[in-house]
Amino acid sequence: MLKEKIEKLNKLDSKLSAIFFAQSLLEWDSETIASDGGVEERAIVAGEISEIYFNTFVNDETKALLEELDERKEELDQVTKAIVFLYKRKFYNIAKIPVEDYTDFQVLISKSYSAWEKAKNNKNYSIFAPFLTEIIKYQKKFIKLRGKGGHPYNTLLDDFEPGITVEILDEFFSELRKNIVPLVQKVCDKQNNEIDFINKKFDIKKQEEFSKYIMPKLGFDTSRGMMTTSAHPFTLNLSRNDVRITTNFKEDDITNSIFSTIHETGHAIYEQNIDEKFGLSALTTGVSMGIHESQSRFYENNLGRNINFWNVNFPVIKKMYKKELNDITVNDWYRAVNHVKKSLIRIEADEVTYPLHIMVRYEIEKMIFSDDIDVNKLPDIWNDLYEEYLGIRPENDAEGILQDVHWSGGAFGYFPSYALGSAYAAQFEHAMRKDIDVDKALKNLEMDEIKEWLKDKIHKYGSSKMPSEILKEATGETFNPEYFIKYLYNKYEI
């Protein structure tokens, strides 16, 4: 009897994973190569696929199956137990939402991406505002239907980082702001600002060549993944054997493409190194966005902005750009890629000011789901907060509220994961350095030892463990943001 129920669960898991695969493929096409003219038809298809997923998953049979297996969880192997836990959590997250609302929302966000892209290109928030208004209405409705209680925003935060609440984040961000604001000012007052060479014209084809060079050096398996470009860099896993990333190239900002590529490669390495025993199942993806961002930001900042990393890789890039970097030393380059600046664009921000960018988004999202805010006033709220937190004000919507893609996909609650990811990364690095010589590995560009540590402690588990469990087992401690604060002060205090 139990064996039959496990087989039924595995069939359900296989079917849902296949539907999700199709959804992801459609998303990939929509955000990379699909024509603008096909938006409406793609939205219809997205809605149909979402309805199939919903009806396959949310029904009395699935509910009974999950409850029965959960009651006998002590008799289940670890993988099956993890699948039951994951699907039970997912089931009760969407079961109270009517299928019509669920599919209509998917159609809306499918159309919304194109509206956001058009609005950003035209620096005109009013193009996107009607879509954002509807997305917020749906999310507020879903929060009420799900009925989790507490602060409304907690429901969305928990979707991206299980266990994280407004109360935890308020304390976390308060501690960061208290320590980071004085550090930013101190560094900006004393650092060497002679880094104009970084804004010369750098041929885009050579930037792409460097990206394709560095990805496998970091540990990305090119036989199980690919890279292209998009308006906003992202990573998408169809399976552990088909992980796709996008980056973005700017002729007058070479560091943008380099660190976007390294960041997304960190995400991709995580996905590629999940244990193959999970197959094409719900467990074959990162456990949370906080843990996921810890991996991307670990590669981007803890490794990618380390002097030992550039001692090996700067000669490669200098050879590509002999004219542009003729008189530049590795120390000049290192200083430039770690330059601290109060800037407007999150994905171009240095690692010291970056958390302040996240705090702006966190405060706005918290406002949206605490009060009835006029969506048309959000650009002004955004600009005011940038002036308060960073002392600068966006001149247009593209460098302000339209710079990120997340809200077009309804991803409210995601942004705090970036700051959590930076803090997790520092905690992981502290633990890693007890086991291996990170600097020696970087000097020799021998990344396998680093990748294997991450695989053994984090990657291989996929979604089979909770984020807090992975963090505690990998580092021996619960979440401790002090490691991130110490990391920043040790590196940047002059």
Residues taking part in catalysis: 264
Euclidean distance between CA atoms 380 and 89, whole angstroms: 37
Q: Which conformational region is residue 476 in: left (phi greater than 0), alpha (psi within -120 to 50 degrees), or beta? A: left
Inter-axis angle of helices 39-57 and 2-32, nearest 10: 170
End-to-end CA distance of the chain: 67
Residue tagged 């507490």 (tokens): 150
Tokens of 145: 């239907």
Q: Rounded to whole angstroms, what are the CA distances from 34 to 30, 39, 40, 261? A: 5, 8, 12, 22
Place of tokens 């960061």: 176
Do the beta carbons of residue 282 and residue 462 sit within 8 Å?
no
Q: For residue 276, what are the CA distances in angstroms to 286, 420, 444, 459, 460? A: 13, 27, 29, 11, 8
> CA neighbours within 13 Å on the CB side: how many for 105?
20
Q: Which ranges of 273-415 does DSSP label H, i.e. alpha helix?
A: 289-297, 307-320, 330-337, 354-368, 378-390
